[in-house]
Structure 1
Amino acid sequence: MNRNDFILRLEQALAGMPEEERRRAVEYYENYLDEAGPENEAEVLHTLGAPEKVAADILREFRDVGNPADAAQNTGKTGQTGTESYEARAKNRFQEMDNGQKALALVLAAVAVVCVFPVCVGVVGGFGGILIGLVCAVAAVFLIVPALDLAAWGCAIGFVIAAGYTAAAGTGAELLLFLGLALVSAAFGILLWKLTAYLFRTLFPGLLNGIVGLFRRVFHRS
């Protein structure tokens, strides 16, 4: 049911009223729908309900006052004619409906907060845990690689010293073994030294610049 159907059925249901009273009642609802706007028309019509029910309320209000002459007499007592009395009560009902819709919206918002907040906390906590894990992993790499480099050079020096003692004792096989181990340790030391240099000269500045740039973009947008 659209606006035109509602107004047409309302006029037909109010056929028993005097022309002037019927016109004013219909005009009131036309103005109300105009104020609601096309975007809210369907919701307002749904709230109003069947036009026959609306017409029954109008007719009951009109009968409470009586004919136009009685309505004029009641104007001196209440300051309202039959249609004016109905319009005032209708406005009160619309105000009550608006208040009810606002209360419902607040309740739904509260329910949404209660339901969504734990999920948001879980998601934020999960991402925070992943971020902390990545930071710890990167920090471990930057600490472990230099430590392994120092250990490799320490082993190389130790094997050279052991080879010197072995040479003094005159055992050629052990001398070759310790010299080979010293060369292998030195090779690992060189490799780890190059990796350490790459980490601190290239990778670390790049990560630092990326983090700083990310924070700058975030705070610049906010």
Structure 2
Amino acid sequence: MNRVEYMTRLASMLQDIPVEERQEAMKYYNDYFDEAGEENEEKVAAELDSPEKVAAVIKAEIYGRNNTGETKAPVYPAEKEEKDTNNWWKILLIIVGGLFVLSIAGPIVLGVALTVLAVVFSGFIALIAFVIAAGCLAIVGIALFIGGLTQIAVALPEAFTLIGSGMILFAVGMVGVVLLVQLCFVAFPKMFRWIVKICKKPFHRKAVS
């Protein structure tokens, strides 16, 4: 008897049981044949009980009730229980392995993330400090320019020196403020997008795979 004949006879014997129970039984024995391999189908069919006997056992277990009225679960070959046990062991090993990897990689990832954040924050603070310094330089230039204007009537050479120095400092300060502010609005968004892109790479690879 081959697989097709065995499963056809078993299906015909199980027509009078609930659909869910029939599908579960058919799925189990189909999986049983799949695991054995196509070349071993006839051998498996010979080793198993006849479809009639298997159907009788399944029906007895489905319709057999204990004193409390609870339905007993269908009895299948012992391999099903072993398979379920193996699945639980695999899940447990995956969980333990994940916790182990997390315990090692977690602190490293956290340390790298904190380092990156510290660098970004330090750069931001430094940039703000430079902007303030450039602004102060421009203010000093304005003060020198005004001071030079007040000295024109008293000491003309010194007045021109103050005015010239003030204009230079003001120009340098304003250029510095403009450049630094522009850098702040251009560099940091790019840096932020770069960090986000790096953080997304592992998840993107996982989704693609």
Structure of greater Rg: 1
In proportion to residue count, which structure has more helix? 1
